[in-house]
Amino acid sequence: MSMEENLTIIEKRIRSLRERIGYSQIEIANMLGVNRSLIALWENGYANISLKQLIKLAYIYQVPIDYLLGIIKEIDNYDYHYIDTMDLKSIGLKLKDIRKTNKMTQDKFAQKIDTKRSSISYYEIGRMMISTADLKQICETFGVSADYIVGNIKNNITRNKKQKLKVKDIKEKVSNK
């Protein structure tokens, strides 16, 4: 299995976009205020991209965060207003609204996306930056747009929901065969 086969969609897309636009890793690193080696680590799947950096990459490349995360396959024609910073309190309010719209407690919401309740609490009050993995999980579980959550669009775009299989579900399916 090649290294390319092990990369996630986000890693493939950030490299592909950088190369298509014609930026070097050094140029992107300078725009983001990070070392070139971090860009290489991201592109090769050895480091996670923070939401803060993901927002900046979407701004630089002028592409939806939903596209970078692999939530949508193609860049759509929606009217995005790309931002290069994030507002934790605004993100938190949107997360709380998504949770309440789905009539869930913080505990149930956390279980649904496989994270801690305390993380959900901190996200909602704007005390902690949501992890990119949790953001993607929320979007895929509840069919919401990451661009809506971070503020690139004013109204939510309904996205396809994806069911995440849990270990117990897989074991149950295997034992029933």
Question: What pLDDT digit, counting tens, does each position of 124-160 carry?
Answer: 999 999 999 999 999 999 999 999 999 999 888 888 7
Output the pTM of the full model.
0.85
pLDDT tens figures, 9-47: 999 999 999 999 999 999 999 999 999 999 999 999 999
Number of C-beta neighbours around residue 130 at 10 A? 27
Examine domains 3-69 and 88-150 and report if their fold is the same. Answer: yes
According to the CATH classification, is domain 3-69 in 1.10.260.40?
A: yes
pLDDT tens figures, 88-108: 999 999 999 999 999 999 999
Find the DSSP H helices in the chain: 3-6, 9-21, 25-32, 36-43, 51-61, 65-69, 88-101, 106-113, 117-124, 132-142, 146-150, 167-175
**Token digits for 115?**
């994270």
**Token digits for 172?**
């149950």
Give the CATH number of domain 88-150. Answer: 1.10.260.40
Parse the chain into domains and list their residue ranges.
Answer: 3-69, 88-150
